[in-house]
Structure 1
Amino acid sequence: MARRVLITGITGQDGVYLAEQLLSEGYQVFGVVRGQRSVCDPNRRPLRPEIKLLSGDLLDQSSLIAAVETAQPDEVYNLGALSFVPVSWRQSNTAAQITGVGVLRILEAVRVVAGVTASVTPGANCPRFYQASSSEMFGKVRRTPQNEQTVFHPRSPYGVAKVFGHYMVQNYRESYGMFAVSGILFNHESPLRGPQFVTRRVSLAAAAIKLGLHDELRLGNLDAQRDWGFAGDYVRGMVQMLAQDRPEDFVLGTGVTNSVRELVDLAFRHVGLDWRDYVRADPGLLRPAEVDSLCADSSRARQKLGWKPEVSFEELVAMMVDADLRLLSDDREMAAEAMLATLR
């Protein structure tokens, strides 16, 4: 029989790539969605029709229990979160409840449906569990690069919530013997990235300015350094984590950092433009507490999982700009209304 998997956050970038990979491997895929799905990004690929969607919410324990009972999954991937870091300052309580306590709720749903107690070793009917942890947990870093042993010092409500979820996974693994792991993933992007994120904001602006649909790009901290990779590479690592003999947390990243300035330069040069003619600094886009630099040490994942990224930063930027050129060229009127508004 086909293995069954339940994915929260299935309509997001990682959820789409993960669902497509698992379908290609013969899984039966169930996705948890809230009452309404966002369709604000016309570049987002529609979910494959064979995916079965279940109503559920990381804010509602009973709906998650019902989703797990219906799906009867062999594996659960919790990718759902309020994931845009700047919003977490404006909606800190919501970020804590969805991104943090939401992890506890889905873990508890899995435990309850599987009938796991502290005194009983989980049987074969207990799903394996993956949590999407984040490099934002490192925040004000104590060492560079960061690995599985690096101390957390989150610098945003989002990062704090992710730390809570990360430790809840560890607690359920140690208290109940569940196969529960966290992937500490560094920034990973793609043409499916939401237009509010800096990488997509840059690729969209470069394409729009090249096509004469826009005239400037406003950004905050151009000096921030990030370890950027391709989302398709990272979901492959998620699957590999759940295929191990014993549950372990892993850091995934490229080990190479680039600044936002370098990102902008690559994107604009790809369309034959000088970014300095179009990019404006906007203090209003600065974070209250900045994370200056993040860089992954994923040597354990490379050694134990055999995982490594395949798409370079330069290839990623070109991929995203080309996708946005196609998007804006195909339907300029729609794109101007639905996408370019995010640049204003």
Structure 2
Amino acid sequence: MFKRNDLLNYLKLNNFLEGTTEQVVGFLLSKLLEYYRLDWALVGTVDQERIILHYSMNIPAELNELESTTAANNPVGLILQGNEPLIINDLKAFSPQNTETPSAFTQGTMLGYPLLDQQGNHLGVVALFGRQVSRVTTRSMDLLANYSCRISLEVDNAHLHAKLGKLKDALEKYTVTDRGTGVYKRSFLSEKLEHEFRRAQRYGRPLSCVMFAVDNYNEFIQRFGINFTNCILKEFSKLLKSWLREIDFVFRYSTSEFFLILPETSMEHSFLLAERLKYKIESHRLPVKEIAEQNESMVFSEKIKLSEEEIEVKVKMGLSSYPSNNVTTSAELINLTDTLLSQHRGTNDTYVN
């Protein structure tokens, strides 16, 4: 059992804590419970009018699946109303009107402290509970205040790392994604195909590439202009991705050309895919009016906005495959696919391998 003169040791130990956020917060909660002779604890952050539970120690079974709780009419929410320790020695004296409040928050004793971020804004709460009514006094609250500051720092840093992670993912996606169509940029093609090519070589698996061109792209430009033609390609790209597997990759190779990487796909299966894609692409109709409505932020002529026309996209394809085409590098696979498509631009053939 800890004595009050152990506080100095706690404070010294706090300065040397290392580990993950979960480990540090868990350690601090366990020491707080031991010091104040309470039973269970939680750490939550504020999200509008709710408190999101992130970390806990010895919580009652009824709270195991609880992810958040309302801050209104809840003793935990009261912690946010000040910047000092909150002590409720008998939670039954606090009668919440909200039926959403779990019974574990309505009995025994609660000791809480608000968590603040580095700008001094309310970040969340740390709350300690005793299952029985007890007398916790305001004496020796330094430990709770000190540990709450450390918990605030840990939680705030965890949130910051999460935000940075999302920003990093968004930046990476932005750098490799073509803004006009939502598929990958050509600049990312060599890196991705090299990865898939090495994998195919290592495990002796097939790898195919399909490159296709929108054959009536220039016609769209002449009839609708560049802005609306880009919208056509954007809608077309969405459909294309929906027709492929999750393991397949689509790249915008040039203004009107797209490149597909098809892992685990043999030459024979890529032929079948080419036929299926041709059928789906050329049988699907893109309504002009609907495309204009979906891109209302752009300026189109009244003729386009009111048009009842449905657009048919025509394509030409080139296919290559490893190991069927006897290529030795991923660059050869790209060049071969490009060459085969170029040979059939302007012809009546659908594709060539």
TM-score range, shorter chain: under 0.3
Report the structure number with the largest CA radius of gyration.
2
Query: Which structure's relative contact order is higher, taking Cα pairs within 8 Å and 6+ residues apart?
Result: 1
